Amino acid sequence: MSNAEKITTSIVVVDLEELPRKWGWLLALGILMLVTGSLGLFMSITMTLVTVLFFGAMILVNGTFSLVQTIIDREEKWRGRMVHVLLAVLYICSGALVLANPAAASAALTLLLAGMFFGLGGIRILHGFQLRKLGWKWVMPVLVGAVDILFALILALSWPVSGLWVIGVFVSVELIMYGWMLTFTALAARKLGKELAEDT
């Protein structure tokens, strides 16, 4: 066994030993995500605006730190730093625009999502037709691609109204999924802790 494999094995063992002791925190975080995601489904507009504002704040903070770091970095010549300065300013302006008008930003992001789903659906359908020689396996990519395109059309045809709810729904569903995952992980860790305590 190589040194890297030994280190990885030891890290996994330490994590498994620590996991039963922290199952309560995992369970609390999972329940918090479940509650937040469930509320977000009923308040999708609020969840959308909060998500977009958080996204804009992160962009603004990232651009500010990048600009400061680029300015104080004296090792690189100014010509080389100009690209980084311009990118940082672009980040700052983008974040400021998002914070200034989160509704317009959410509408723009929703239109971008519609385009991504449409393109992804088209690629999946083409890939499915390329698999026709393999039998029935080509059907699934085509069906998934058709669903992607249908969803993209729904977003586009209901735009800009869809921009007020779609991001909030996506984030809420993700929170619910991760909440259930953390909850089941916490319960499994609790069970593992009891088994280890009984063995000792």
15 confidence band (pLDDT: 50, 70, 90):
low
Residue from 41, 40, 42 nearest 50 by CA: 40
Average pLDDT of the segment spanning 148-168: 80
- On whether the pTM is more than 0.85, the answer is no
- 193 pLDDT exceeds 80? no
13 confidence band (pLDDT: 50, 70, 90):
very low
Average pLDDT of the segment spanning 150-168: 80
Residue from 144, 114, 150, 151 nearest 127 by CA: 144
- 125 pLDDT exceeds 60? yes
pLDDT at res. 28 = 85
CA distances in angstroms from 144 to 8, 112, 122, 130, listed in the order given: 37, 19, 10, 15
168 confidence band (pLDDT: 50, 70, 90):
confident
Residue from 67, 79, 80, 48 nearest 155 by CA: 48
pLDDT tens profile 97-110: 888 888 888 888 88
pLDDT at res. 88 = 81
pLDDT tens profile 32-54: 888 888 888 888 888 888 888 88
Average pLDDT, the chain: 76
Average pLDDT of the segment spanning 142-156: 81
14 confidence band (pLDDT: 50, 70, 90):
very low
Residue from 57, 45, 49 nearest 97 by CA: 57
pLDDT at res. 75 = 62
- 8 pLDDT exceeds 50? no
Residue from 187, 189, 200 nearest 18 by CA: 189
Q: Are 45 and 162 in contact (CB under 8 A)?
A: no
| 3-state secondary structure at position 7 | helix
- 176 pLDDT exceeds 50? yes
